[in-house]
């Protein structure tokens, strides 16, 4: 494979506050031949996700910091183009954590290194969205932490995103009232009109938590029983003002604080007064639920009952710009980079 050239995006420096294009560098290297047990994967899609921002910094986090001058971490979907592993053949469609690069040599026998996928009923790109890590994240947070009963109300922030969009659809399928929070009228119309949420609030029309809480009281007349939290800050403060006794918060992301600023909580006493359960989770620490989650998610996507939307940047060179846009909410649905 020595004639092949692999483009890679490396983390060149750590952002001080907001990341910039200068934090990334593009390099080219020859592609080595696979050794025994290895497969060479040509990536077709790269997944861009908010968690990557946390990995760029050196501070305390649930994951090791992204090493400098190494390929940026990231989920990938692609095709086996060379194999010296008995379990993989050329042409197999696979997903893994190949990072921001066009090719990857994979020790295919390592646990969770690669997963073969069937693209007969489900597009390859969907395995990085609703039938991948974002979908399983939605499934776990909703069903294992919030565990809503039919008739209850769940609020989902970043409702049009890759995770939030799945949470709301899984909720409404179980007879739960799903109220989204998203930025801008287009996203709110999509969340209600296309995804089937019961309501969606445009947070950009609210200057503070009090105003947002009033909107929540209109859309959640019976209060809030569960919250799938992707944002934090003002959004979480508003939800807590309307939370019912024994409500549950699945703490999935805190994008309002990804650039390192503290995120004060306006009224933490509400956790006690409402006997709330607030639980943070990382879906990669719950591999035991993935088969059940993927079974339901696969069936729903294949049957068309779970809808999703993708924003696709073209070419590896576009990945840094697309990632910065994701952190500012410029994407609509799942942000991907198409590499082939």
pLDDT in tens, 293-339: 999 999 999 999 999 999 999 999 999 999 999 999 899 999 999 99
Nearest by Cα to 137 from 116, 161, 153: 161
The CA distance from 71 to 316, in Å, is 12
Tell me, what's the pLDDT at 95?
97
CA quadruple 328, 329, 331, 333: dihedral positive or negative? positive
- Report how far apart, in Å, the C-alpha atoms of 154 and of each of 85, 104, 190, 223 are: 46, 40, 18, 9
Place of tokens 């969606």: 200
What ranges do the domains of the chain cover? 5-129+309-338, 133-284
Assign domain 133-284 one CATH number from 3.40.50.720, 3.40.50.800, 3.40.440.10, 3.30.300.30.
Answer: 3.40.50.720
Interhelix angle 234-242/209-219, nearest 10 degrees: 50
Tell me, what's the pLDDT at 299?
98
Nearest by Cα to 47 from 130, 116, 110: 130
Which CATH architecture group holds 5-129+309-338? Answer: Alpha-Beta Complex (3.90)
Quote the pTM value: 0.94
CB contact at 8 A, 236 and 158: no
Using DSSP, state whether 234 is helix, strand or coil: helix
* pLDDT at residue 181 tops 90: yes
pLDDT, tens digit (0-9, with 9 covering 90-100), for 253-291: 988 776 777 899 999 999 999 999 999 999 999 999 999
Q: What is the DSSP letter of 144?
A: I
The CA distance from 165 to 307, in Å, is 8
- Cβ neighbours, 10 Å, residue 184: 15
pLDDT, tens digit (0-9, with 9 covering 90-100), for 27-58: 999 999 999 999 999 999 999 998 899 899 88
């Amino acid at each position: 494979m020595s004639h092949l050239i692999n483009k890679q995006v490396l983390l060149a420096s750590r952002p001080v506050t907001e990341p910039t294009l200068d934090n990334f560098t593009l390099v080219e290297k020859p592609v080595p031949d696979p050794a025994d047990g290895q497969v060479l994967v040509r990536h077709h899609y790269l997944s861009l996700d908010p968690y990557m921002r946390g990995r760029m910094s050196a501070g305390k986090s649930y994951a090791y910091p992204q090493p400098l001058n190494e390929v940026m971490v990231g989920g990938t979907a692609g095709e086996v183009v060379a194999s010296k592993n008995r379990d993989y053949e050329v042409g197999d469609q696979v997903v893994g954590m190949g990072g921001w690069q066009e090719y990857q040599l994979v020790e295919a026998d390592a646990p969770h290194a690669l997963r073969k996928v069937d693209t007969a009923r489900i597009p390859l790109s969907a395995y990085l969205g609703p039938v991948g890590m974002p979908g399983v994240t939605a499934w776990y947070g909703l069903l294992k932490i919030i565990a809503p009963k039919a008739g209850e109300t769940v609020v989902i922030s970043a409702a049009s995103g890759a995770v939030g969009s799945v949470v709301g659809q899984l909720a409404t399928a179980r007879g739960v009232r799903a109220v989204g929070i998203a930025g801008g009228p287009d996203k709110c119309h999509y969340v209600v009109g296309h995804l089937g949420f019961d309501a969606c609030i445009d947070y950009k029309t609210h200057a503070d938590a009090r105003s947002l809480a009033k909107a929540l009281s209109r859309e959640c007349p019976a209060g809030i029983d569960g919250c799938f939290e992707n944002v934090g800050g003002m959004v979480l403060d508003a939800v807590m003002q309307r939370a019912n006794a024994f409500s549950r918060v699945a703490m999935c992301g805190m994008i309002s604080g990804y650039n390192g600023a503290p995120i004060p909580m306006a009224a933490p006493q509400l956790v006690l007064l409402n006997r709330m359960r607030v639980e943070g989770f990382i879906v990669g620490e719950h591999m035991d639920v993935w088969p059940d989650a993927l079974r339901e998610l696969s069936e729903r996507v294949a049957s068309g009952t779970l809808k999703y939307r993708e924003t696709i940047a073209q070419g590896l060179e576009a990945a840094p710009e697309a990632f910065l846009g994701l952190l500012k909410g410029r994407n609509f649905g799942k942000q991907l980079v198409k590499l082939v």
